[in-house]
Amino acid sequence: MKASIVFTGTGPILILTSYETITNPNLIKKMSNKGIKKFVSYEIDIEKVKEKYGNQFNVIMGDLDQTDDLRVLDYNGHNVFYNFSFEEMGTPTYHES
CB count in 10 Å sphere of residue 64: 5
Strand partners, 96: 38
CB count in 10 Å sphere of residue 31: 23
- Domain range for 44 is 2-96
- What total number of domains does the chain contain? 1
pLDDT along the chain (97 residues), means of 10: 94 93 93 94 95 90 69 94 94 95
Which amino acid type is present at position 85?
S
Please report which helix (H) or strand (E) contains residue 62, including its range. helix 46-62
The confidence score (pLDDT) of residue 11 equals: 95
The confidence score (pLDDT) of residue 66 equals: 60
Instruction: Kindly report the pTM of this predicted structure.
Output: 0.89
The confidence score (pLDDT) of residue 67 equals: 61
